[in-house]
Amino acid sequence: MGLWFLAPDFTFTREGVIRLGTVLRDPCCPTLTLATKHTGLPADLPLPPEESIDEANHQHRASADVGMAQKLWARFLRSASASISASASRSQSQVFGNVDHEVLQFKHELGDACLKAIVAVPKVRKHIDSGFLSRKPVFVITAVRIAKTSFSVEMAAQTSISGEAEGSIGVDPQVGAGYTGDARRNALANHAYETAPGIVFAYRVHVIRVKGDGEVEEEMFSHKNAFMTGELGTDLEYLASHMCLGAFSSIIQFDSRLRFNSD
């Protein structure tokens, strides 16, 4: 489990929304804010003092390969049957050039007074109480990594998707109909650029939970999608599973070799 979340893109500055003290709905979406220093949070909020740490010569690389295959077989009444299969694979890589980081962080945890003031903010409290069976947590940015100079970004992704369908329909004992079809798609994308200096590279959060007795607790938050440990297969698995459900119609529409045969 990682602790640092990459910024959504490398255009956020230290004075933007990804800054110490910002309260989030979702730790993976830093632009979905509930309150910030300038919007919603009390002016006298007792946030901890800040400190700055310099870290030299950061270089990071991430890569992942994801594959998925599904097969669906169905028999309709006693006169028709169909077999549908779908597979998908994806490889993705990110390479970030050498750069020095400045880490801005709170010197210690938020503390009871700060926690109670945060959960008392109307918009924050409304979100906490909107849970169906339990109170929802909120997240506070407690550390930010700033790239001190510009750095290079290289991204590459390749996706391959394929599906097949075949089946038969019995019209009467003397006449039958069959069909076959397949669809395939491959995509490759490469991007490279240089960022501006002084942008936000990554951020870290604490999770705040209101317990049943009203007590408020906090802890440093870790997640599988955090920096350099993210699972890249979520969207692909969603796509592959929906391909399987929709393959019967979409594959036949895409395939020019659809044919019907009679006995």
Contacts of 77 (CB under 8 A, 6+ apart): none
Structural contact between residues 262 and 175, judged by C-beta atoms closer than 8 angstroms: yes
- pLDDT band, very low/low/confident/very high, at 241 (cuts 50, 70, 90): very low
Average pLDDT, stretch 212-237?
66
Average pLDDT, stretch 129-147?
92
- Three-state DSSP state, 189: strand
Structural contact between residues 61 and 145, judged by C-beta atoms closer than 8 angstroms: no
Would the pLDDT of 94 be above 50? yes
Model pLDDT, residue 175: 54
Question: DSSP of 4-32, one letter per residue?
Answer: EEE-SSTT-BTTSSSSTT-EES-TT-TTS
The amino acid that residue 226 corresponds to is: A
The percent of residues in the chain predicted with pLDDT above 90, rounded, is 40
- pLDDT band, very low/low/confident/very high, at 238 (cuts 50, 70, 90): very low
More confident residue, 56 or 76: 56
More confident residue, 26 or 253: 26
- pLDDT band, very low/low/confident/very high, at 256 (cuts 50, 70, 90): very low
- pLDDT band, very low/low/confident/very high, at 117 (cuts 50, 70, 90): very high
C-alpha dist (Å) from residue 237 to 30, 67, 69, 87, 241: 24, 9, 9, 10, 6
CA distance 147 to 58: 9
Model pLDDT, residue 181: 60
Average pLDDT, stretch 201-214?
91
Model pLDDT, residue 23: 97
Domain residue extents for the chain: 4-254
List the single range of 92-96, 118-122, 187-191 with lowest mean pLDDT: 187-191
More confident residue, 246 or 51: 51
Model pLDDT, residue 1: 63
Q: Around Cβ 92, how many Cβ atoms within 10 Å? A: 19
The three-point CA angle 177-179-184 to 5° equals: 175
- pLDDT band, very low/low/confident/very high, at 75 (cuts 50, 70, 90): low
Please, what is the average pLDDT of the chain?
A: 77
Q: Which of 210, 29, 48, 221 minimizes the C-alpha distance to 119?
A: 210
| Token pair belonging to 138 | 């909120």
Q: Around Cβ 77, how many Cβ atoms within 10 Å? A: 7
| Token pair belonging to 164 | 């097949």
